[in-house]
Structure 1
């Protein structure tokens, strides 16, 4: 079967802008839908009865916001999430997302390595499709631990430290990092040609008209599912 078309960095950024302008979506809505998709991908990978303890690593941008939302849904699905969110912003949206988790008594930790050793699964919501340049503190050691650790990882939209078009770094903390699973938001990104694990697409809110305008495919979502599993390189299953 033909692979789903990928969405490059400029198109992905333009799509987000259009969704929040003429599309009339708020950033809250898009983050909520993305986080729900992440939580459904986690459930499809391994239900809470099998892997209850989930460590969610969040960066300071939208990818981290998706992780915060996902953790709330995972809690209600029956998981026991723990949050690693070291670079917190004063943005009101992120503060509200954190408060929602605190009301559920979801713990926050500053010790990623220690928490990872007690976890059944890790969600990598550190850097997304807009990442470029070098990995800055405190994330080099975190990404190195993701690459070298034995705990399976679900990456959100992109494995952290990967370039959206050029894939994994040739050196640095992300060298050798290829997570167990990936959930691509809206459409796979060009980096999937280097990816080897289980692959989901999420973000069930885009019209066929918008998809054609930006040159990607809406996957065949079933029933009430917010994610579709596809091949590691984006091929339809």
Structure 2
């Protein structure tokens, strides 16, 4: 099945439509996104292969998706740890962190140097999503550099952090050599996926046929109760 990509502008418009005429709340969309991310982790790292997951969160919605995913991972039997250096003070994000504290999910204040498989079995990159633009401020350049050099498998959520949503990896800076092994596109792939070479999943099983058609999207073939579908890309990055 050939999927179609969704530009950053159209992704923002779609989210706005879902929260207006679609009657979804931000909480609902974040919950569905985080659930999809947690299922992608399970496909990449079954519990019998490892349980230690580092969730690196940024201050925006992408970070919120990571917080939700961490809660689900805890209930599945994983051992998530949260790296969240720029915590969002919005009430929604405060509730998500409170839920994790209640489950005694640890929040770490720094990353191991080097970041190796002796500490974690998988890393979730939930730092920047489709709305990212502009320069990257500390501590995130150092974090992205660590992700680029780590031997730990990385799953990027919606976009490898620092990548341009339309054009892919930057030509310079800490993300120049950052190529995570897996990506989960939320709702629909963004144009950067054409430059991606790893395992690719699509998550966010809530689009109706009418909305998908209006945005020129193809809903992937989700199986059974799955909230995520793996969608191969060929050697040239085409869907």
Q: Same fold (TM over 0.5)?
A: yes
Q: Which runs of 5+ in 1 are unaligned?
A: none
Paired position in structure 1 for 2:168: 167
Residue 24 of structure 1 and its aligned partner are, at CA, apart by: 0.2
Q: Which runs of 5+ in 2 are unaligned?
A: none
Deviates more, 1:114-123 or 1:151-160: 114-123
In structure 2, how many angstroms separate the alpha carbons of the residues matched to 1:46 and 1:149?
17
In structure 1, how many angstroms separate the alpha carbons of the residues matched to 2:204 and 2:114?
29
Does the aligned pair in 2 maintain the 1:63–1:156 contact within 8 Å? yes
Paired position in structure 1 for 2:71: 72
Residue 115 of structure 1 and its aligned partner are, at CA, apart by: 9.0
Paired position in structure 2 for 1:35: 34
Residue 3 of structure 1 and its aligned partner are, at CA, apart by: 2.4
Residue 49 of structure 1 and its aligned partner are, at CA, apart by: 2.1
Does the aligned pair in 1 maintain the 2:115–2:151 contact within 8 Å? no
Does the aligned pair in 1 maintain the 2:122–2:154 contact within 8 Å? yes
In structure 1, how many angstroms separate the alpha carbons of the residues matched to 2:27 and 2:114?
28
Does the aligned pair in 2 maintain the 1:55–1:115 contact within 8 Å? no
After TM superposition, the score normalised by the length of structure 1 is 0.96
After TM superposition, the score normalised by the length of structure 2 is 0.95
Is 2:75 aligned against 1:83? no
In structure 1, how many angstroms separate the alpha carbons of the residues matched to 2:21 and 2:207?
13
CA offsets 1:124-167 (integer angstroms, 9 cap, x no match): 00000111111111100100010111111000000000000010
In structure 2, the residue corresponding to 1:63 is in which secondary structure? helix
Does the aligned pair in 1 maintain the 2:52–2:120 contact within 8 Å? yes
In structure 1, how many angstroms separate the alpha carbons of the residues matched to 2:95 and 2:194?
36
